[in-house]
Structure 1
Amino acid sequence: MAIRPILCLPDPRLRAVSEKVGVVDDAVRALMDDMLETMYDAPGIGLAAIQIGVARRVIVMDLARKDEEPAPRFFADPEILETSQEESVYEEGCLSIPEYYEEVSRPAKIRVRYLDRDNKRCEIEAEGLLATCLQHEMDHLEGKLFIDHLSRLKRERAIKKFTKAARQDAPGAPRRAPEIREKQSGL
């Protein structure tokens, strides 16, 4: 297992549509293991393969709380079969858009079919955080980010902020002091 770098906005690879796996074999399981280790290290609760630059339809997640035993889940080639009319709102963040959070409305319940780590075809009905996390990660497989669910103004502000930061962090760019969130008084 290896920790891999996580792509961040505005990296254009995050907008790629991921390809089907077809069969969960040893290579896909090795990818899942690397993704899980990367997600835990970040730390996060979900990760899509495209976030580490691999355009395959693979997701890992673990919704266990810090005081609970890890409960990793693995999804290959997931597809949503049904969604509820009822919506729920969660404040979402993303490892590819670090330290940026906004409320997003999504279907409250979904039914998903996928291949598990052992290449077994499974179906689950999900609600709450599991439903939100699955939809968030499945968006990544289609080249979508959670900011795409925001108003145009909020989305453009986020993109502008991360594009500017990426330019300043590029090799050869002049170094800057860390961003200070609060306005400083005249000290």
Structure 2
Amino acid sequence: MACATWLQSSSLSYALAPVLCRHARLSASLRCFYHLSSTGRLGYSNVLHRPPLMDVSVQARRGFSVREDEVASPADLSFEPPLKIVEYPDPILRARNKRINTFDENLKKLVDEMFDVMYKTDGIGLSAPQVGLNIRLMVFNPVGERGEGEEIVLINPRVYKYSKKTVLFNEGCLSFPGIYADVERPESVKVDAQDITGARFTVNLSGLPSRVFQHEFDHLQGTLFFDRMTEEVLESIREQLQALEKKYESKTGLPSPEKIDMRKRRQAVAGFGRS
């Protein structure tokens, strides 16, 4: 049975290609979204309605920052295939990501290469810093299968609004292989971005596309998914994070640039900006 995940826009009004739910059957009247768990099975959450969106001006009142990013140079966009996934705690994942201002064949090739590595690693979303490029670019396909679903490319994305309603969901990340844990995020967002030609558009995302977008947008902000976890959830994956830190040290001969044991106790990150 096909489960349609909808994407609507002031400049676009269309549905993402139906997401074929091979391992689950749900009522078409329910919005549903899926994730690959460590068991390889599809999990899901149901949302009965789309909640109202919160204007970005509320973010400013809450201390969230909106900034202009430095423009990427040709060197920043230079790459050699095949791309490889950057794993935590590589400092590339925390570095500032530059705005793209050149829309050429090189960018198209980069997008193709990002989709290629995403599919090969069984992902459904990927950001440029995850392949070693600190630029504001993400790609995703909610189906996660080449030739199925809809391939989405967002360049220089910005969040205008997000819903007050939040959803708790078990997330994974290609930069944290084998680690899955619950993350709470807004159920829907309104996004402004550019496409592969540089054309700007606005789109409302909900369900799985919203979840994937927010995860990848965090990467563009230098935020990692464990930054949004509660202390209780974080404790459940502490040993796995420590193992990645030791792996980095063994591979590079350098001390880990960050350690989960040195992380100060604090509330999980909220919103979409970095103060």
Whether the 8 Å contact between 2:124 and 2:144 is mirrored in structure 1 is no
Q: 1:45 aligns with which of 124, 129, 132?
A: 124
* Paired residue secondary structure (2:218): helix
Q: In 1, distance between residues paired with 2:147 and 2:155?
A: 25
By percentage of residues, which structure has more helix?
Answer: 1
After superposing on structure 2, the runs of 4+ consecutive aligned residues of structure 1 that deviate more than 3 Å are 65-68, 167-171
The aligned counterpart of 2:242 is: 160
Query: Does residue 26 in structure 1 map to residue 105 in structure 2?
Result: yes
Query: Gapped runs of 5+ residues in structure 1?
Result: 172-187
TM-score (norm 2): 0.58
The one-character-per-residue Cα deviations of 1:75-124 (angstroms, maximum 9, x if unpaired) are 10000010010001221100000010011110111000101122211111
Q: In 1, distance between residues paired with 2:95 and 2:141?
A: 24
The aligned counterpart of 1:113 is: 192
Task: Quote the offset at 1:67 in angstroms.
Answer: 9.7
Query: Gapped runs of 5+ residues in structure 2?
Result: 1-79, 254-275
* Paired residue secondary structure (1:98): coil
CA separation of 1:96/1:62 partners in 2, compared to 1, >3 Å: closer, same or farther?
same
* Paired residue secondary structure (2:103): coil
Q: In 2, distance between residues paired with 1:75 and 1:67?
A: 18
Q: Counterpart of 1:160 in structure 2: which amino acid?
A: Q
Task: Quote the offset at 1:169 in angstroms.
Answer: 4.7
Alignment of 1:86-101 (within 5 A): 86-101=165-180
Alignment of 1:30-179 (within 5 A): 30-64=109-143, 66=145, 69-152=148-231, 154=234, 157=238, 158-169=240-251
CA separation of 1:67/1:5 partners in 2, compared to 1, >3 Å: closer, same or farther?
closer
Whether the 8 Å contact between 1:25 and 1:119 is mirrored in structure 2 is no
Q: 1:5 aligns with which of 69, 84, 91?
A: 84
TM-score (norm 1): 0.83
Q: In 1, distance between residues paired with 2:252 and 2:158?
A: 37
Whether the 8 Å contact between 1:2 and 1:38 is mirrored in structure 2 is no
Q: Share of identical aligned residues, percent?
A: 30
Task: Quote the offset at 1:66 in angstroms.
Answer: 4.8
Q: In 1, distance between residues paired with 2:182 and 2:147?
A: 26
What number of residue pairs does the alignment pair up?
171
Task: Quote the offset at 1:68 in angstroms.
Answer: 7.0
CA RMSD of aligned residues (A): 2.1
Task: Quote the offset at 1:131 in angstroms.
Answer: 0.5
Whether the 8 Å contact between 1:59 and 1:74 is mirrored in structure 2 is yes
Task: Quote the offset at 1:70 in angstroms.
Answer: 4.3
